[in-house]
Amino acid sequence: MPCGVTIAALYRYPVKSMLGESLSRAVFDERGVAGDRAYAVLDVESGIIASAKVPKRWAKLLEFSAAFAGEPVAGEVAPPVVITFPDGSTRRSDDPDIDQALSDVLGREVRLVTTAPEAPKFEELWADLDGMDRESLAPEHIIDATTSRQEDTGEAISSFDVAAFAPPGRFYDLAALHVVTESTLARLAELAPESDFDVRRYRPNVVLADTGDGFVENDWPGREMTLGSDVRVAFTFQTMRCVMTTMAQGDLPDDRNTLRTVAKNNRIMIEKPEVAGKWACAGVYADVSAGGEVAVGDTHA
């Protein structure tokens, strides 16, 4: 793991599955980037936390974007967010009609929440990748054990605990922090130059500048890194990739070849007992062991 590599970009996503914010600097605490995934959309009928990992129901979430009305403070209640709707209009999270406005666009009764229901769940579709078995994405035993329903296409949909490996209080899929390197994105672009592996598809919090050749994060679990002068992170396990990375967002087109390329070229063994097995991966998850502030252009050690 090389030292002195520059932090190329920082991101946070105020509302789960909506487009987020590119930051020049960010505050970190034990729950990750301050304000990250502080809000989520709750499906009233099912009680499920909405996630664009089920495209048929929730793809439209990626047509919204969210930004904080004021800067979040680590350890404090998140401030309101300003949500830009697909038609370009904006509403604040504290508007009295925000739930109805979101429901009207999404076509389901939803509520914008900052507090999760008891034992919150999100769903994930195991995408058909044109001839590749679903085991190319995840271990078959995990798919079988978690499948809760099927899409009309016959593709399985699994149900998972929200933030299973993160401190409570945020709407993460799994972990508090997601890191990806420009090396990984460059390798994917080499493997499939016809596709656009824009970093926005992968929704990281931290992007590190070129750190070597290929999927360098594969070897990072079990190691630690200092970001800037204060923030200390401990890498836990590689980031499993899903159908959400293939979906249209902003000016990026829908492209399942982006996920197919990961599955063909970086299907690796994850050792973490709860999810042990071979997964299609790009990037790495981390816990924050010491908080502080980091800026784009800082280096890591």
pTM for the structure as a whole: 0.96
Q: Determine, yes or no, domain membership for 90.
A: yes
Q: Determine, yes or no, domain membership for 301.
A: no
2, pLDDT greater than 70 = no
- pLDDT of the residue at 86: 98
Choose the weakest-confidence range: 72-81, 239-248, 273-282, 289-298: 72-81
What are 81's strand-pairing partners? 68
7 burial type by CB count under 10 A (0-12 exposed, 13-18 middle, 19+ buried):
buried
pLDDT tens digits, one per residue of 151-168:
999 999 999 999 999 989
What spatial distance separates the first Cα and last Cα of the chain, rounded to whole Å? 9
pLDDT band, residue 301 (cuts 50/70/90)? confident
pLDDT tens digits, one per residue of 164-190:
999 899 999 999 999 999 999 999 999
- pLDDT of the residue at 210: 79
Distance, CA of 137 to CA of 243 (rounded, Å) = 10
- The sign of the CA dihedral 7, 15, 156, 273 is positive
Q: Determine, yes or no, domain membership for 165.
A: yes
- With contact defined as beta carbons under 8 Å apart, do 69 and 21 qualify? no
Q: Determine, yes or no, domain membership for 2.
A: no
Amino acid (one-letter) located at 50: A
Task: Give the strand order in the sheet containing 156-161.
Answer: 121-125, 156-161, 147-150
Q: Determine, yes or no, domain membership for 128.
A: yes
Q: Determine, yes or no, domain membership for 16.
A: yes
Q: To 5 degrees, how large is the angle CA 148–CA 39–CA 281? A: 55
Q: What number is the average pLDDT over the span 114-119?
A: 92
pLDDT band, residue 130 (cuts 50/70/90)? confident
- Give the domain range for residue 288: 7-295
Strands (E), 73-205: 81-84, 90-92, 110-113, 121-125, 147-150, 156-161, 177-181
Q: Determine, yes or no, domain membership for 126.
A: yes
- pLDDT of the residue at 243: 96
Q: Under 8 Å CB-to-CB from 190, ≥6 apart: which residues?
A: none
Tally of domains within the chain: 1
Q: Under 8 Å CB-to-CB from 220, ≥6 apart: which residues?
A: 1, 235, 284
pLDDT tens digits, one per residue of 76-95:
899 999 999 999 999 999 99
Strand 206-208 and strand 177-181: the pairing is parallel
Q: To 5 degrees, how large is the angle CA 25–CA 207–CA 20? A: 65
Q: Determine, yes or no, domain membership for 300.
A: no
